[in-house]
């Protein structure tokens, strides 16, 4: 595996592979890789001869009071891990490489509406930062496919919309959420949890599953289900941002004909902001 930090070196290698007719898969990450990321790389490998993983803690997707400075940066460990699992390139650029004209003067890519609700309303500008950096990696790498995790359900939906709207010839693949044995979705931010909070954290997934069971049993009072879940999370010690029951297809309110529902939640526990979701067929 090659560890590359510069654009020219990256593009030279990619064009060799393209000339040889090899397909390229992209797995964008912010590093601090865990088993969930490994599953994204494994899935990418099933779809392409070459896998490029980016490790870049993207400043434009963090709000002023968020954890950009403290976000775990573990490049040496990430490099070892990606070598072991057979990624072809780890692209780990500096901020100036990604934003050569500076962050203030960067061309922005923004997906309205879908970016404004849920995590977008709690973290204003967050998804504009995500789409801006992912668009940059898409145009640098020009992959045939790109893999994102289902845990960030809203994110993968926004990236799908951006890709379709800009007619980018990239197939977006969403990889299932990887969970700890007790159901907690794997996330780099789980490392912020104390032992006591870690014991409580699986309650988020339990709460989503309880809603899923009630939906499958025919309950359709979404306000009640969301309200009860909110209260249950608060009682367990979370500060919930939202619990929302929406159409899986486009995050709109479910109507009578809708048979695929996504239940999304975000809640803070201590200093860790956790997100999770489940998709339910009703
Ligand atoms: O999901 C993430 O880790 C990030 O939002 C992404 C897609 C790598 C963009 O920085």
Q: What residue ranges do the domains of the chain occupy?
A: 2-175, 188-275
Ligand 1 centroid, distance to 30 Cα (angstroms): 6
Q: Atom 9 (ligand 1): residue with closest C-alpha?
A: 130
Q: Atom 8 (ligand 1): residue with closest C-alpha?
A: 29
| DSSP-derived pairing of the beta strands 239-247 and 2-4 | unpaired
| pTM of the shown model | 0.97
Per CATH, which fold does 188-275 belong to? Answer: 3.30.1300
> In this structure, are residues 280 and 212 in contact, taking their beta carbons and an 8 Å threshold?
yes
Q: Which of 23, 34, 37, 105 is catalytic?
A: 37
Asked if residue 33 has its Cβ within 6 Å of ligand 1, the reply is: no
Asked if residue 28 has its Cβ within 6 Å of ligand 1, the reply is: yes
Helix (H, G, I), strand (E, B) or coil at 91: strand
Residues in the chain: 282
Q: Which residue ranges in the chain fall short of pLDDT 50?
A: none
Ligand 1 centroid, distance to 56 Cα (angstroms): 8
Asked if residue 58 has its Cβ within 6 Å of ligand 1, the reply is: yes
Helix (H, G, I), strand (E, B) or coil at 136: helix
Q: Report the pLDDT value the prediction gives residue 256, as an integer from 0 to 100.
A: 87
The architecture CATH gives domain 2-175: 3-Layer(aba) Sandwich (3.40)
Ligand 1 centroid, distance to 165 Cα (angstroms): 20
Q: Report the pLDDT value the prediction gives residue 277, as an integer from 0 to 100.
A: 99
141 burial (CB, 10 Å; 0-12 / 13-18 / 19+) is buried
Looking at the DSSP bridge assignments, the partners of residue 246 are 262
Ligand 1 centroid, distance to 29 Cα (angstroms): 5
Written as six digits, the tokens of 118 are: 């849920």
Written as six digits, the tokens of 147 are: 């893999």
Nearest partner of 137 among 24, 1, 279, 40, judged by Cα: 24
Closest approach atom of ligand 1 to CA 56? 10
Q: Report the pLDDT value the prediction gives residue 205, as an integer from 0 to 100.
A: 98
37: annotated active-site residue: yes
Helix (H, G, I), strand (E, B) or coil at 173: strand
Nearest partner of 103 among 144, 134, 132, 74, judged by Cα: 132
Nearest partner of 164 among 151, 149, 146, judged by Cα: 146
Q: Report the pLDDT value the prediction gives residue 127, as an integer from 0 to 100.
A: 98
Asked if residue 30 has its Cβ within 6 Å of ligand 1, the reply is: yes
């Amino acid at each position: 595996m090659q560890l590359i930090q510069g654009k020219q070196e990256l593009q030279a290698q990619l064009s060799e592979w393209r000339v040889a007719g090899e397909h390229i898969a992209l797995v964008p990450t912010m590093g601090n890789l865990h088993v969930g990321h490994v599953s994204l790389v494994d899935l990418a490998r099933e779809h392409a001869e070459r896998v490029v993983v980016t490790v870049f803690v993207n400043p434009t997707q963090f709000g002023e009071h968020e954890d950009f400075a403290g976000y775990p940066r573990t490049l040496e460990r990430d490099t070892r891990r990606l070598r072991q699992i057979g990624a072809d390139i780890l692209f780990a650029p500096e901020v100036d490489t990604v934003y050569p004209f500076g962050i203030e003067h960067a061309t922005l890519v923004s997906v309205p509406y879908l970016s404004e609700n849920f995590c977008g309303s709690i973290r204003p500008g967050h998804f504009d930062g995500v789409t801006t950096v992912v668009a940059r990696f898409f145009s640098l790498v020009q992959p045939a496919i790109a893999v994102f995790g289902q845990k960030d359900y809203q994110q993968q939906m926004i990236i799908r919309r951006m890709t379709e709207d800009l007619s980018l010839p990239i197939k977006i693949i969403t990889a299932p959420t990887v969970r700890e044995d007790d159901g907690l979705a794997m996330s780099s931010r789980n490392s912020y949890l104390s032992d006591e909070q870690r014991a409580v954290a699986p309650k988020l997934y339990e709460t989503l599953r309880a809603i899923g069971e009630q939906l499958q049993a025919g309950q359709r009072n979404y306000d009640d289900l969301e309200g009860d879940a909110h209260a249950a999370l608060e009682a367990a010690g979370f500060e919930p941002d939202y619990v929302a029951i929406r159409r899986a297809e486009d995050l709109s309110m479910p109507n009578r004909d809708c048979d695929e529902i996504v239940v999304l939640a975000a809640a803070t526990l201590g200093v860790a902001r956790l997100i999770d979701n489940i998709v339910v067929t009703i």
